[in-house]
Structure 1
Amino acid sequence: MRPRTEGRWRLPLPRSLLGRMLLLTLLVVLLAQGLSSVIWLSQLRASQMEGLVASARSLAHSMSASVSYFRSLPVAYRPMVLDQLRSMGGTRFVVSLNDKPLGMQVLPATPRKEAVIDAVADVLHQRLGAQLEISIQFVSPQDLRIFNSGLKLDELPRSWAHYALTLEPINPPVLVTQIRLAEGEWLYIASLLPEPYTSLEEQGLPSQQLWFIVLTSSFLLLFIGLLVHWQSRPLKRLALAAREMSLGADVEPVTEGGGSEVEEVGRAFNAMRERISRYLTERSQLFSAISHDLRTPITRLRLRVELLDDEQLQAKFGRDLDELEMLVKGALQCVKDTDIHENIERIDLNQVLECLVEPYLGSGQITLEGRAQAPYPGKPLALKRCIGNLIDNALKYGERAHLRILDSDIGFVLQVDDEGPGVPEQRQEQVFEPHFRLAGQQQGYGLGLGIARNIAHSHGGEVSLRNLREGGLRVTLSLPRSVD
């Protein structure tokens, strides 16, 4: 999870364009498929309800014909007709005559069961008379009773009832209709509803529909992923070229391809690359000219100062010339140290640190803790100069340097702790400025931290300062392993 923002947790989202596009597409597909499936399922259930009612009415018409037939028979003939029907087997109904309605455990009511019962009762009352005494209910096959004696379905011969009332392995509910024919005589009719309405349960989405949703979503995500990957390749090439250019490498113009927007970005990057390259070339030429032009007059002035008779005036001019020469050399060194033309390589930072600290290990001025886990892609000489400046700064103003490496997949971190007086918080940004020194510091040009930060910035990293509670200053070099 990401950090809490304004008291709320934010869900983690993909950071890449491909991941976000696929997530958005998946949400849209699931929403569209869900809505269409709900509409389709509601229409399917409505049509199934219409078919169920029509089937129940047809079944009720068949029942009414059987009831009319039994009514027309003399009372003495009715048991013989029932025996003949049972002997034949395979009839649609199971019919019996009982002296009272059979009591059975009724299944819980559902909208479909109530619709069937209402449809059957309506047809029977229309065909047989509104005053007809009828009992209609759904019973589980396990609780079904056939005769007054309470015999179960499994206790009867298979030819009598199993063919009409079982549908293994489903065993759907049985519709039991009991109609009063005369005083002390009830006609019992048990039957199953015809296919596909035997179970009477409202089914969810069919497996075919679910597979259709899964397959269409998968194909759509696959095609969207290929499309986004194809369109994002120019952006990845552009990001790689921008990183290499930030490290000072000689970058070839990127290929202008992809969509019109991506092509426009590539064209703008190439134009920017040409302007920056021209600016860097002009800057190098400018400082070379300044170096050449200033050294001659400074040397000439030194010769003239030597010819002065007044020693006090000669000393004043000498100090001014020394300061002027130090400023010129400092500016040229700053440009030289930060504008290092190197190719990007995979650097073993452990080896770099070992080379830098080896001369001081015997004296105990430097301690080193931790190791880099993987090579770092960067400019070898520039990073060596950056880390060397941080170590020299710690030894110069803090006498000792304690180095600690914290490496991970995210980035490389080097902490350099010294035992000096530290830097006041209000001055911690100023010490990165050229030629800035704290009170009592007169050594060097005041350029080491500034050069180190410029090199870190060119690699997408940072150099920061923090005073330690126990005394001393901690300088932290952070270098990311990838540029977002």
Structure 2
Amino acid sequence: MRNAFNTLFGRLFGVLLVAIVLAHVLAVLWFLHYGPPPPPPVATLTEQSDGTLQPAEPQAYSRPRLRGAVVLLSFQCISLIIAAWFGAKLLSRPIQRLSAAAERLSLDLDSPPLDESGPREARQAASTFNLMQRRIREQVSQRARMLGAVSHDLRTPLSRLKLRLEQIDDMRLQGQMRQDLDDMIGMLDATLSYLHEQRTGESRQWLDVQALVQSLSENAQDQGTDVQCQGQSAPLQVQPMALRSCLNNLIDNALRYAGTARIELQDSPQALLIRVIDHGPGIAAEQREAVFEPFFRLEGSRNRNSGGVGLGMTIAKEAVERLGGRLSLEETPGGGLTAKIWLPRASS
């Protein structure tokens, strides 16, 4: 009940309701206190059995005019409450539409534009919102094209440098420079993959998440790694490639630092919880949010064999957020890192 009045509609309706009820209560009290005084009772005579006349008992006076006024005020109060409800609903509807459109935009930049209809203020707000959406799409697309072009064009001089390395007689220096070039090419490939993930507008589909997790676990075991899964879940409406990319990055991260991984599914009517658990060195609490930043790598992982390029966790988090969920990190009991994916169900 408290949350029902924590909206624009609830507050408008509540203010109007309080004003209407208070005004009518004061009016009723005024009538009760200052209403017209009753006329004096009329003395009547009744004939007794012995033939004499005696005054009759005075009858209580009722105020029919006062009762009529109370009924009229009650009817007026109910009518005004209904009018206030419809008025508050009408005033808050454009704000609700704008809020729903903003939520869709946060999940998908290519969401349909807002309908520019209704009162002048509502049309102006919808037009401004649609203009903002177009500008955001243009800026994101321009940034992606620019970074993609730079990453692509850098591959050509890097490839030429690898060929020229063969002319260096110092084999130790040649190996070090080749490794540096391979790292740079790997970062470019990861950047292109990251930009592709951002540009992809995948539609939502019903997916058997339990079957997906089991498939990823079996594929990892076929490659000689230890990935176990447990738990059950009902199908969920998601972007299949986004969820697969997220889980692949989390599993690769767990295998890179711990050598093994365990995936747990915990389903409920409101949401699906997926845990990717490892028993590796873990991450300090103050650095768990920083690992989601692009190209961020922990000091202990800055080596060519295990450090990666620092985009895996970023891709995983953005994939989960496109599904309307959350990705967080916490310490595994006994040591290690647990990545928690919370995905809401459509009915929640």
The TM-score bracket by the shorter chain reads 0.7 to 0.9
Check whether the contact 1:401–1:419 (CA below 8 A) recurs between aligned residues: no
Check whether the contact 1:395–1:401 (CA below 8 A) recurs between aligned residues: no
Which runs of 5 or more structure 1 residues have no equivalent in the other structure? 2-10, 67-81, 94-190
Amino acid at match of 1:194: Q
Once the 2 structures are TM-superposed, how far is the Cα of residue 275 of structure 1 from its aligned partner?
A: 0.8
Amino acid at match of 2:57: L
In the other structure, the counterpart of 1:192 is 57
In the other structure, the counterpart of 1:244 is 104
Q: Residues 387 and 311 (structure 1 numbering): CA distance in 2 closer, same or farther, change over 3 Å?
A: closer
Check whether the contact 2:291–2:314 (CA below 8 A) recurs between aligned residues: yes
Cα distance in 2 for residues equivalent to 1:294 and 1:260? 51
In the other structure, the counterpart of 2:335 is 471
Q: Of 334, 353, 358, which aligns to 2:215? A: 358
**Residue 446 in structure 1 maps to residue 307 in structure 2:** no
Give a deviation string over 1:132-178, Cα, whole Å, max 9, x none: xxxxxxxxxxxxxxxxxxxxxxxxxxxxxxxxxxxxxxxxxxxxxxx
Cα distance in 2 for residues equivalent to 1:342 and 1:220? 49
Cα distance in 1 for residues equivalent to 2:282 and 2:3? 40
Q: Residues 331 and 37 (structure 1 numbering): CA distance in 2 closer, same or farther, change over 3 Å?
A: same
TM-score between both structures, scaled by the size of structure 2: 0.80
In the other structure, the counterpart of 1:14 is 5
Check whether the contact 1:434–1:447 (CA below 8 A) recurs between aligned residues: yes
Q: Residue 439 of structure 1 aligns to a residue in which SS?
A: helix
In the other structure, the counterpart of 1:86 is 49
Amino acid at match of 1:357: Q
Check whether the contact 2:277–2:338 (CA below 8 A) recurs between aligned residues: yes
Q: Residues 358 and 292 (structure 1 numbering): CA distance in 2 closer, same or farther, change over 3 Å?
A: closer
Cα distance in 1 for residues equivalent to 2:343 and 2:54? 83
The structure with the largest helix share of the pair is 2
Larger radius of gyration: 1
TM-score between both structures, scaled by the size of structure 1: 0.60
Amino acid at match of 1:256: E
Cα distance in 2 for residues equivalent to 1:471 and 1:370? 25
Check whether the contact 2:323–2:343 (CA below 8 A) recurs between aligned residues: yes
Which runs of 5 or more structure 2 residues have no equivalent in the other structure? none
Q: Of 321, 325, 330, which aligns to 1:457? A: 321
Residues 5-404 of structure 1 aligned to structure 2 (within 5 Å): 12-44=3-35, 47-48=36-37, 50-51=38-39, 54-55=40-41, 59=43, 85-86=48-49, 93=55, 191-196=56-61, 206=67, 212-343=72-203, 345-348=204-207, 351-360=208-217, 365-372=227-234, 375-376=236-237, 378-398=238-258, 399-404=260-265
Q: Residues 406 and 38 (structure 1 numbering): CA distance in 2 closer, same or farther, change over 3 Å?
A: farther
Q: Residues 245 and 407 (structure 1 numbering): CA distance in 2 closer, same or farther, change over 3 Å?
A: same
Q: Residues 388 and 316 (structure 1 numbering): CA distance in 2 closer, same or farther, change over 3 Å?
A: closer
Check whether the contact 1:340–1:382 (CA below 8 A) recurs between aligned residues: no
Once the 2 structures are TM-superposed, how far is the Cα of residue 439 of structure 1 from its aligned partner?
A: 1.7
Q: Residues 371 and 211 (structure 1 numbering): CA distance in 2 closer, same or farther, change over 3 Å?
A: farther
Q: Residues 367 and 383 (structure 1 numbering): CA distance in 2 closer, same or farther, change over 3 Å?
A: closer
User: Over aligned residue pairs, what C-alpha RMSD do you find?
Assistant: 3.4
Amino acid at match of 1:39: W
